[in-house]
Amino acid sequence: MLLLGLVGAACEKRNADRARSGPATPLHPCKVPGAREEVLCGTLTVYENRETRTGRTIDLNVVVLPALEPGGAKEAPLFPLDGGPGVAATHAAGFYAGEGKKYRRRRDVVLVDQRGTGKSNGLAAPAGTKTPQQFLTEMYPVAYVQELRASLEPRADLTQYTTSIAMDDLNDVRAWLGYEQIDLAGLSYGTSAALVYMRQHPTRVRAAVLMGVAPTDLKMPSHHARAAQRALELLLDDCSGDSACHGAFPELRREWEELLARLEREPARVEYSPPDQSGAVTVEIGRDIFAEKLRSTMYSTAGARQIPLIIHHAARATLGRF
């Protein structure tokens, strides 16, 4: 343990010496979406290439929600690390200004948009109109990935948007704000980011909470199909063992298996009315896309509760239509 600590401390010093942060805008009172109260906002400028410290820079977007107890913070600040990767941490400001206020009783909450997300040179797809059918494709269509890469490369060196580099950014924010140690809270991909931060800056972490752990050697999305199958099996078992669910859907497992077989033979055709009232369109849903949409629906308890009804209605559809 002592050896690991010494190695970690040496790595931390090397990382700090290699790439110091640049200019920062002082924290100032501001209003952010979802928060009624006034919070603190600022930016810290870092080099996109932390190794060479030349060329393009990134303004890291930072929101601080101060501790609520009189006299200020008495515990290590909380740095939440969100999922994705791609979710902007500052989008959670409304939560920590509302339901999540309990986490701020004795500590500051610091939200940092990781490089490539939110207002920290966000690498989102260009604004445009996607057709309903384009939302019903595989997760990473090759042509889409190629087009997205081509559209982003003029304004970003994509090799510099990695977790390890972003966690050095996060440590710069910690130092800029004057915190000796911080607490981390990671969710999904955020757990992987937290593990990397702890590896690179071990002396700066007081405690960490990891929810839905994604180990640093996890190759996403290679595990999605197997994990989704297991989750659905558990859901089907839960429904079978629940009197109300089983009473409403007594043949749910059979319906699921027959539905998959039917979609394997031929995609279903669905009439969809977009919310912009542009007129109904017909889209196709194949077996794999349907299964993937159910997988993402299971990310929340509320979504999972809808799945028996979705399967039941889809299985009873006739003439190849949902």
DSSP 125-154: PPS----GGGGSS-SS-HHHHHHHHHHHGG
Query: In this structure, which amino acid lies at residue 10?
Result: A
Query: In this structure, which amino acid lies at residue 243?
Result: S
Q: Which region among 24-28, 56-60, 123-127, 289-293 has the lowest average model confidence (pLDDT)?
A: 123-127
> Tell me: the pLDDT tens digits for 260-280?
999 999 999 888 887 776 788
What whole-number distance in Å separates Cα of residue 79 and Cα of residue 28? 19
Edge-to-edge strands of the sheet including 205-211?
A: 24-30, 39-47, 57-65, 109-112, 78-81, 182-187, 205-211
pLDDT at 160: 98
pLDDT at 141: 86
Q: Which residue has the tokens 């010496």?
A: 17
Name the burial class of residue 214, with classes exposed (0-12), middle (13-18) and buried (19+) by CB atoms within 10 angstroms of its CB.
buried
Structure-token pair, residue 69: 């107890």
Taking residue 314's Cβ as centre, other Cβ atoms within 10 Å add up to: 19
Q: Which domains does the chain have, with CATH numbers?
A: 2-121+156-211 (3.40.50.1820), 224-316 (no CATH)
**pLDDT category of residue 18 using cuts at 50, 70 and 90:** very low
Q: What is the pTM of this model?
A: 0.82
Q: Which residue has the tokens 């490089």?
A: 115
> Tell me: the pLDDT tens digits for 127-181?
666 788 888 888 888 988 999 999 999 999 999 999 999 999 999 999 999 999 9
Query: In this structure, which amino acid lies at residue 81?
Result: L
